[in-house]
Amino acid sequence: MNTNIFEEVTKGSLQLKNRIAMAPMTRARNEDGIPKSFNAEYYAQRTGAGLIITEGTAISSTSKGVLHIPGLYTAEQTEGWKQVTHAVHGNGSKIYTQLWHVGRVSHVSNQPDRQAPVAPSDIQAANSNAWGYDENGKEGFVISSKPRALETNEVKKIVQDFATAAKNAVKAGFDGVELHGANGYLIEQFLNPFINNRTDEYGGSIENRSRFLLEAIDASIEAIGADKVAIRLTPYGGLHELPHYEEIEETYQYLAVELSKRNISYIHIMDQKSRGSFALPEGFMERFRNWYDGVIILAGGMTKEKSQELLDAGIIDIAAFGEDFIANPDLVERLKNNWPITPPKRELHYGLTMEGYLDWEVYNKN
């Protein structure tokens, strides 16, 4: 199959001007959690991508593990996002927002009244960092605090928080939502038997450990429709102290089959090798392609050549690029014309200044 990454595509519920997505990346520019005009400018600068997936967006006041991230749980936040979606749509791109609950990867300074973060079980990610305030009030990386285990009724409340945020996303003009089921955050914490030792309906078997994910998906589908709901997954990932377990392959096969039944917009898989964690095993994406009947996006160390090979092989439908989009707002044109790629400056990823946010230049071929 000969598929051009730069050509228009209609796949499932997605109609895009090309097969390139901008992956979600936390930028921590919103002190009050409300998107502003500079956020609209930031995303509009990057609308060479057919699909933009926003930074992780908080679904509640207790879902955060990073200071200054935007949310989608108040009317003011929802209103603020409208200028972002309007700007992106004006340039002919589609935009989904990533709905985020970090679970145990949080610090008391991220939580209302400095309460403990919540998780499937009270197991601390003692070597993982949140972004909060230390004991001296200085902002920066801080060790994740010990969480408390969620009560069963609280799990069901968080399921509804995802659905409410999904409704708010549609009100704000988003084309859809991507639930963050990756990178060691709350949804993936439920999947992992070393982090989830619950004895209720959300722990034990693969089916039980997958229940929270599927209930959050189902509630979001009921709220806004399956064609507007997607999820990000990191099979075999290890970020934020998620150990591997024997049933990883079986777990993701089960999820692929269950999500196929629901006819969601897409599954977005990230290969964490690019983040210094475990790589996807040889042949995993080919197997996942056989299990999952739907649109697949892949991120992680993506290049023009790699994306073209995966598309031609029919393994993926859309290629997602991450950090390259931060330092190269015109990344799609650079890829198309084989222009050089500017490396990002990670020390500028977070922060309340515009440095490293709106000041990256497009390529000057003169």
Contact 87, 40 (CB under 8 A): yes
Q: C-alpha angle with apex 159: 155 to 161, nearest 5 degrees?
A: 110
pLDDT for the residue 279: 84
Sole residue written with tokens 């090798």:
273
What sign does the CA torsion over 168, 173, 175, 178 have? negative
Residue-wise pLDDT for 292-345, tens only, equals 999 999 999 999 999 999 999 999 999 999 999 999 999 999 999 999 999 999
Q: Report the number of distinct structural domains present in the chain.
A: 1
**Residue 54 resides in a domain:** yes
Residue 294 lies in a domain: yes
Decide if 355 is inside a domain.
no
> CA 202 to CA 204: how far, in whole Å?
7
Domain that holds residue 119: 9-348
* Contact by Cβ (8 Å): 148, 155: no
Show the DSSP H helices in the chain as ranges: 37-45, 75-90, 152-171, 186-191, 206-209, 211-224, 248-262, 284-291, 304-312, 323-327, 331-337
Residue by residue, DSSP assigns 39-101 as: HHHHHHHTTTSSEEEEEEEESSTTS-SBTT--BSSSHHHHHHHHHHHHHHHHTT-EEEEEEE-
Asked if residue 358 is part of any domain, the answer here is: no
CA distance 151 to 153: 6
Residue 26: predicted pLDDT: 96
Active-site residue list: 185
**Within the chain, what is the greatest distance between any pair of CA atoms?**
65
- 97, part of any domain: yes
CA distance 226 to 219: 10
Residue 239 in any domain: the answer is yes
Task: Please report, for the domain that includes residue 22, its CATH number.
Answer: 3.20.20.70
Residue 241 within any structural domain of the chain: yes
Contact 179/57 with Cβ under 8 angstroms?
Answer: no
Question: What residues of the chain score a pLDDT lower than 50?
Answer: none
**Closest to 50 measured CA to CA, from 323, 357, 351, 317:** 317
Flag whether 357 is in a domain: no
Q: What is the pLDDT of residues 244-263, one digit of tens each?
A: 999 999 999 999 999 999 99
pLDDT of residue 314: 95
What pTM value is reported for the model? 0.97
124 neighbors 87 (Cβ within 8 angstroms): no
160 φ, ψ (degrees, to nearest 5): -70, -30
Distance of CA 84 to the CA centre of its chain: 17
